Every structure is written in C-alpha cells, then in structure tokens.
Structure 1
C-alpha cells in the first residue's frame, strides 16, 4: 500500500499524472527538459531541466490527492533535501556535466478528486 489505503498502482498513477503536469508547467515557462526519472542506488531524480536563464535545475515533483497530510511541497523535509543534493551530484558525475551553478526546485501538484488541479513551484529549496 502507498499512503493510507491507496493501492500502489493508483498512487503510482497519481504520481505519474503529477509529473506530467509539472513537466507541462516547466516547458510552458520555456524550460528544456533534459532528463526524467534518473535512478541510481541512492534514489531517483524526477526531472532535470535547464530553466529560462540557462541554469541547470533538478526538480522534485510531489503529488497528492488531498492536503490531509499537508501541502505536497511540505513532503520535502530537510533529510529529503540533503538526499536530493546527493542525487544531483550523482547525476552530474554520471553525465560528466560541470555547470557553473545548479539549483533544486520542488513542484507540488494537488490533484483532488473532482476538483481543480493546483500547482506550486518552489525555487531553490535545497
């Protein structure tokens, strides 16, 4: 089970939908998506992109059906932020990429049953 009472397959579908909506949002801002769902032994990066200024950005996407457990972006705790930084450095190593700078953003997507989708984009969270 993923979450309280939601079967894993349904939770995965909600997460996939949230990620697609986040990518649509980023591309609408003029961002170029250069990698998705990059995995290593330490975890996964949801989206790697170049923003409208040319900066490399690692985006964590958090999707929820309700705010019962808080806003989606609140799921990125200090421990999660540290892990995202380690993953970003791993991606850079794997891709022999040496940017002058990079940042980590979080995109929270709320997909309530029968309600309107809400998207929150926090820049430079880690």
Structure 2
C-alpha cells in the first residue's frame, strides 16, 4: 500500500474513533458508487451526518480542510443522494461535516471537526 493510501486509511480510522467517542453511530464507511465515494456516513441521533475525512502529514500544502473545494462539496452532495436512494431513505435531515486530521510522521495527531461545513 502506498504511503499516501496508508495515511488516508489511518486518518479515516482516527476520524471514526473520534466520532464514535463523541456519540456518533457510524452507519457506513467508504461507500462507493459510480460518482465516487463517501468516507463516513453516521448519525448524531438527530441527523444523518456525511463526513469527508481529509488527512495530511503536515501543513506544508495547507490545512486539510482546504482540500474540500466547492466542486468537491457538490460532488459529495450528489454521491449522498445516491447513498440515500440505495438505502431507500426518502427523507431525513442531513448535515455535511469535515474531519480534518494532521498526522505527523513523529506520531502527533491533530483533529478538527467542522460541523455543517458545506
């Protein structure tokens, strides 16, 4: 597995742990369809929360949250509609979050959770 893939996988593991520690119930991970992938689908018991996880090893290329561009947000919304159809969810309150993780090579971890990010 490439170092970038391993970093992303580790970041998603940390994000799921972070969310579950805060009472979220994870419903799905790495759900794929023709249009792309959703990292995490969870519920905070009130809303369905779609989380995009972005992980970087440092800030040399900016904060991980900056990687979620307006076009990426539109794509995530479109993929979420496919998830809702696939799971026969007709209506529910949705929220789109970003979990930004900096996982430095020496092991330091910083996690920022942006609720209702887009």
TM class by shorter chain equals over 0.9
| Structure 1 residue corresponding to 2:73, chosen from 70, 76, 81 | 81
Question: What TM-score, normalized by structure 1, do the two folds share?
Answer: 0.89
CA RMSD, 1 decimal: 1.1
Between the two proteins, the alignment pairs up a number of residues equal to 118
Runs (5+) with no aligned partner, structure 1: 1-7
Show the counterpart of 1:36.
29
- How far the C-alpha of 1:25 sits from its partner, in A, is 0.4
| Structure 2 residue corresponding to 1:63, chosen from 42, 55, 58 | 55
Q: Distance in 2 between matches of 1:36 and 1:121?
A: 17
CA contact (8 A) 1:81 1:125 kept: no
CA contact (8 A) 1:56 1:99 kept: no
- How far the C-alpha of 1:115 sits from its partner, in A, is 4.5
**Secondary structure, counterpart of 2:4 in structure 1:** helix
The question of 1:17 aligning with 2:14 is answered no
- How far the C-alpha of 1:100 sits from its partner, in A, is 2.9
Runs (5+) with no aligned partner, structure 2: none
Show the counterpart of 1:95.
87
| Cα distance per residue 1:45-100 (max 9 Å; x no partner) | 0000001x421000000000011110011100000011111011110011101333
Q: Find runs of 4+ consecutive structure 1 residues off by over 4 angstroms.
A: none
Show the counterpart of 1:3.
none
**Secondary structure, counterpart of 1:33 in structure 2:** strand
Question: What TM-score, normalized by structure 2, do the two folds share?
Answer: 0.95
